[in-house]
Each structure stands twice: as C-alpha cells, then as structure tokens.
Amino acid sequence: MPNKIPGHLHPITQTIREIYAVFADLGFEIALGPELEYERYNFDALNIPADHPSRDMQDTFWLKEKPTDAKGPHGEPLGRRLLATQTSAVQIRFMETHQPPFRTLVPGKVFRNEATDATHEAQFFQLEGLLVDRKVSLAELKGVLEHAFKKLFGPQSDIRFRPSFFPFTEPSVEVDVKWQKPGEAEPRWLEVLGAGLVHPSVLKAGGIDPTEWQGFAFAFGVDRIVMLKHGIDDIRLLYNGDLRFLNQF
Ligand code: YSA
C-alpha cells in the first residue's frame, strides 16, 4: 500500500520558523554558521580560554586531528576543530563581517558529549539572537524576550528570569517556563533560554569598539520550546524518526 500521508515539516523546523516570525517583526535577519567549528569562535573569542573551568560547562566533541594552522580574517589562530556546542559561536563570525548596528538570528544544530535523558540530547537545536547598537540595556533584553514568550505561549505564559553566569555576557540570565510534565502531579520549571548583555571583551574580539557599542544576546533551546508547545514529555521522541509520533504535527 502506498503511503498516502503527505510530507510535512519536522516540528523543530516548524518551531524555528515560528520563533523567526516573531523576531523578523522586530527587524532581526537570519544568519548561519557551520556545524564543524573552530575553537576560537566556539570558545576563546567568547571569553572562554583554554584550560578555563568554564569550558567544562559544555562537554565537547573534539575532532581527532592535528591542530590546524587556519587563521581568522585578522590573522588570529583559529585553533582546533570541534562540533559546535553553541550557536553563540556565530556571534563572533557575524561581528567580524558586519558593521553595527545590527540584529541577527542564528538557527543551528549543536552537539554536546553528554548523557541523554528526557530533557537532554547530545544533539539539539538552538536559535541565537544578537543585537548590537549604541545604547542597549538589560531592561530592553527582558522586554524583547517577554514579548517573544507571550507570542509563543500566549499572554498568560508563566515564565521566570533567573540570574546566571556565562563568560560571554555580563550580566547573564536564564529563562524558565512552567512545565506540566505529562503524568506528574505538580508543574515544574524547565530552562529554555540563556541570555545577557554582550561582554565588552567579546565585542572587542569581534572587532567592535565596546566604548561605542553595546549588545544583548540570547539562545533558545528550540527542542524544549517544541516540548512545551506540544506537551511532549521526552526530547528523544523528536529524533527517533517514529512516523506514528511525527505524523501528529
Ligand atoms: C547565553 C548568553 C548569550 O549572550 C547568548 C547565548 C547564551 C546561551 C549559551 N550559549 C548556551 O548554550 N547556554 S546553555 O548551555 O544553557 O543552553 C541554552 C539552552 O539550550 C538551554 O537553556 C536549554 O534550553 C538548551 N539546552 C542546553 N543543553 C541541552 C539543551 N537542550 C537539549 N539538550 C541539551 N543537552
């Protein structure tokens, strides 16, 4: 029997497009980066030097190869290659090739060498936003994110901002959304996004004068947004290719 069910976009792609529509209205334009990334963009230029404990925040798949002697546009050594652990790597690539002010949105598949469970995969999607302008505040970042979450989850969406730490932002925050996990009596918080004001050292590494320009940046964990939107209780369902699951979207 031929399969009569028409093809459709994967729920992750649908959600990336939905988030993009929210930010397109705010003037953000799409940029892309590679999945195979250099140490400089993924770590060093983001204020995460080699041997710094903050590298442990993201367990990394390194390529087994001799160090490359590849150089950036201004002769900076790009270092070893790895599977990108975060879309934040594209921040520096974008800054190196664009003059501020700008607003960009970067969808990407990222990889971490970690055990999987219901909310963690070793491969997942992020959607990064970066805005650089002359005067940028944490209040503005909060306003933009609140607007986005209202658009995505409706006006009654239950979210909270928590102080956090990323080496490439100061101050840093994380956003949680109230999650009623199917089968559980009480709702719990699910972390869905990291964000902050771009650290001056990061602007400098991207060739932007931090005395003139400021920025905010954020990254949605797209898979978790999909889970919340559709009441999915296990992230691994998004990747096992089961058509009985996928054909519901
Ligand atoms: C922070 C500041 C910025 O200026 C810009 C971006 C960021 C985010 C930072 N680059 C980062 O990757 N933070 S994170 O490790 O906490 O991941 C961001 C989001 O990705 C998390 O909130 C979560 O929703 C999702 N995530 C993280 N590990 C995951 C995962 N989703 C599925 N599986 C995993 N293993």
DSSP code of residue 66: P
Q: Mutation test of ligand 1: which of 15, 59, 193, 203 has the most ligand atoms closer than 8 Å to its C-beta? A: 193
DSSP code of residue 169: E
Query: Using CA positions, which residue lies closest to atom 29 of ligand 1?
Result: 120
H helix runs in the chain, sequence order: 11-24, 39-42, 89-97, 138-153, 200-205, 222-230, 243-246
- Residue range 117-142, pLDDT digits in tens: 999 999 999 999 999 999 999 999 99
Position 50 scores a pLDDT of 87
Predicted confidence band of residue 2 (pLDDT cuts 50, 70, 90): low
- Residue range 139-185, pLDDT digits in tens: 999 999 999 999 999 998 899 999 999 999 999 999 999 998 888 89
- Residue range 222-239, pLDDT digits in tens: 999 999 999 999 999 999
Q: Which two tokens stand for residue 20?
A: 């993009």
CB-side neighbour CA atoms (13 Å) of 72: 22
- Residue range 95-110, pLDDT digits in tens: 999 999 999 999 999 9
Q: How far apart are CA 91 and CA 51, in angstroms?
A: 22
Position 181 scores a pLDDT of 86
| 120 ligand 1 Cβ < 6 A | yes
Every domain of the chain and the residues it spans: 11-246
CA of 90 to the centre of ligand 1 (A): 14
Position 7 scores a pLDDT of 85
| 39 ligand 1 Cβ < 6 A | no
Position 15 scores a pLDDT of 98
CA dihedral angle for residue 10, residue 231, residue 220, residue 152, rounded to 10 degrees: 90
What are the CA-CA distances from residue 78 to residues 2, 73, 75, 93, 145 (Å)?
50, 10, 9, 12, 32
Mean pLDDT, residues 69-89: 94
| 90 ligand 1 Cβ < 6 A | no
CB 7 within 8 A of CB 162: no
CB atoms within 10 A of CB 210: 15
CA of 1 to the centre of ligand 1 (A): 43
- Residue range 11-56, pLDDT digits in tens: 999 999 999 999 999 999 999 999 999 999 999 999 998 888 777 7
| 218 ligand 1 Cβ < 6 A | yes
Position 81 scores a pLDDT of 95
Looking at the structure, give the CATH architecture of the domain made up of residues 11-246.
Answer: 2-Layer Sandwich (3.30)
Mean pLDDT, residues 187-213: 97
